Amino acid sequence: MGERFMELGYSNRERVLKKTYHGMLFSRYFGQSVGRLYGKMSDDLRSVVMCHVEKNAQFADRLGMGVGYVYATLEPTLQHEVMQKAKEL
């Protein structure tokens, strides 16, 4: 599901993100797969994802793992963004 997240329309993305609050396993695995796509997301989509990081610890934990897999390949500005967000949490 996470691998196709960017292809979903707005309402379907919102529906999927809401499901992360109702199932720990879904939240974790979805977060991890979305994290691996972090560098490919639009600024707007990254912003939406980061809003859920503040509200959902399971999602945040696995999103961090997913971003960790691709961190070295991210542009320096995105690496900085990730580190800033980590400091805030």
Tens digits of per-residue pLDDT, 27-79? Answer: 999 999 999 999 999 999 999 999 999 899 999 999 999 999 999 999 999 99
For the chain, what's the residue count? 89
Helix, strand, or coil here: 89? coil
70 CB burial (10 A radius; 0-12, 13-18, 19+):
middle
Helix (H) or strand (E) holding 51: helix 43-53
The per-residue pLDDT for 68 is 95
pLDDT-derived band at 1, boundaries 50, 70, 90: confident
